[in-house]
Amino acid sequence: MTLKTTLILTLALLGASVFAPVQRVSAAAEVIDVDSDRQLFLDNLWFHSKQGLELVFHTPTSREVAIQPEHPWERTLIHYSSVVYDQGLFRMWYRGTDGNPWNVMPNGGGQTFTCYAQSQDGIHWEKPKLGVFPHSGSTANNIIGSPRDFMNVSVIVDPNEKPGSKSRYKMISRVNGITGFVSADGLNWDLSETNPLLSRGPFDSHNILLWDEQSARFVIYLRATDMSVPGPFHGGRRAIRRSDSSDFRSWSEPKMVVRPDEGDPVDLHLYTNAAVNYYRASRAFFMFPMVLYPERSYPGAPLPGTSEIQFATSRDGIQWQRSFRYPLIKPGLDEDNWVDRNPIMGHGVVPTGPSEISMYYSEFLRSSNSRIRRCTWRKDGFVSVKGPYKGWGEFTTPVIRFKGQRLELNYSTAGGGALQVELQDEDGNPLPAFRMEDCPEILGDKIEGIVRWRLGENVSALEGQPIRLRVRLQNADLYAFRFRR
């Protein structure tokens, strides 16, 4: 998809609260080409006008424990997992230590390791004996490296490389700057052609690598220091920078893209980022930052600091919004979770069912019970546009141009809810056969539901023409739309 209208995109990205009324955009505004790509409701972009609706932020559902300590080399697990789904196999890289669980720093009386696990379903995980790295005189373990090699890794599958290619898997580490690695199997790694990729720190915690499908560039999100407010981290507060590359060799100078602002407490730090380019919608980027309050303390915790996971969104990976600053995941009822730098979301969103996506986050840091737990959303289910309990709310989109034959919606209605869709010309006039009265009320719960009007579902006659969508909702949530073949 190519977003052609800077005006509309800027209004969406830089607008005020997502719950505020949206001003009408001139009908003369340029067309947004949506092609056949899925579009998510993350901000005000898809509202030329709206009434009686709100954007709703959805927290995930916690599921089973995925990874827990079982071996001497993983006496405790230390955050920073990275998960991919490739050729029918879920693969996870995570960090463990054989040292004191209460001190998880590299000098904490033990050694840390990068470990590997795999799964057929993303739920049940195994730790294969790899024969790659020795521990206590044996390579019969799931270790692939130590801090001498790499640490706090982020792994992706390069979509430009075929299976078996020596650069199929790409990885970054925070040892000796941001260093790059390549691998054919994700287990045996070689330094990439040029290293370090980035040398101007800070680089602590978890730096994230991803592939931006639309710009066809590799991107790294990494630690920054925000000096706008004095703080304890190099004189400022922790924030997030971004660098990109077309070839995984030459990288742009990192620029700050997300920092704490006037909407945050002055002691809030953006400690990690867990950024992803969502695999079902190329123009949807998410971050799941662990925010740290370094000077706050929970009674009985071994070190100062309290934390939670928040949520941020972007349509280009550069301009970010933190419209929903409520915790995505809180430490919860168990007091052992109320320690500094816990919980932390790992890197990667993967499909684990027809209607489900999963991520993995850490629990019980600084404890022998430390572990990694799975959490889930419905597909595309991070934010929805929600209709009122009684009566109708509605919105009209900016002018769009599409490719496809049918209109697909991801929606969920209550038993007493419904939604309807009208197609309009660029001036807002209903199109014959696609008027609101031609669309029977839609109810139910569908990830990929097709809109049908009385004369059918085929909209191919409108392909390539400038149109608008008008959508009515009552006691219903709409998560995404796209036109499909």
Ranges of the chain whose pLDDT falls below 70: 1-29, 100-109
CATH of the domain at 288: 2.115.10.20
Q: With CA atoms as reference, report the closest residue to 466 among 402, 386, 421, 373.
A: 402
Residue 1 domain-assigned (yes or no):
no
Q: Give residue 109's pLDDT.
A: 58
CATH of the domain at 40: 2.60.120.260
Same domain, 261 and 299: yes
Q: Give residue 76's pLDDT.
A: 85
Q: Are 408 and 76 in contact (CB under 8 A)?
A: no
Token reading at 296: 């706050």
Q: Give residue 411's pLDDT.
A: 98
Q: Which of 378, 411, 444 is the last residue of a domain?
A: 378
Identity at 246, one-letter amino acid code: S
Structure-token match 């969104």, residue found? 313
Q: Give residue 95's pLDDT.
A: 94
Q: With CA atoms as reference, report the closest residue to 170 among 215, 119, 209.
A: 209
Q: With CA atoms as reference, report the closest residue to 194 among 118, 250, 145.
A: 250
Sign of CA dihedral 136, 141, 145, 147: negative
Q: Give residue 98's pLDDT.
A: 87
Same domain, 117 and 170: yes
Token reading at 225: 């220091």
Domain count, the chain: 2
What does the alpha-carbon distance between residue 136 and residue 402 come to, in Å, rounded to a whole number?
60
Structure-token match 């499908």, residue found? 213
Q: Give residue 24's pLDDT.
A: 46
* Domain span including residue 477: 6-58+382-484
Q: Are 157 and 163 in contact (CB under 8 A)?
A: no
pTM of the model: 0.92
Q: Give residue 230's pLDDT.
A: 92
The alpha carbon torsion through 335, 337, 341, 345 (nearest 10 deg) reads -150
Q: Are 69 and 367 in contact (CB under 8 A)?
A: no
Q: Give residue 30's pLDDT.
A: 85
Same domain, 313 and 369: yes
Q: With CA atoms as reference, report the closest residue to 396 among 436, 449, 353, 359.
A: 436
Same domain, 402 and 312: no
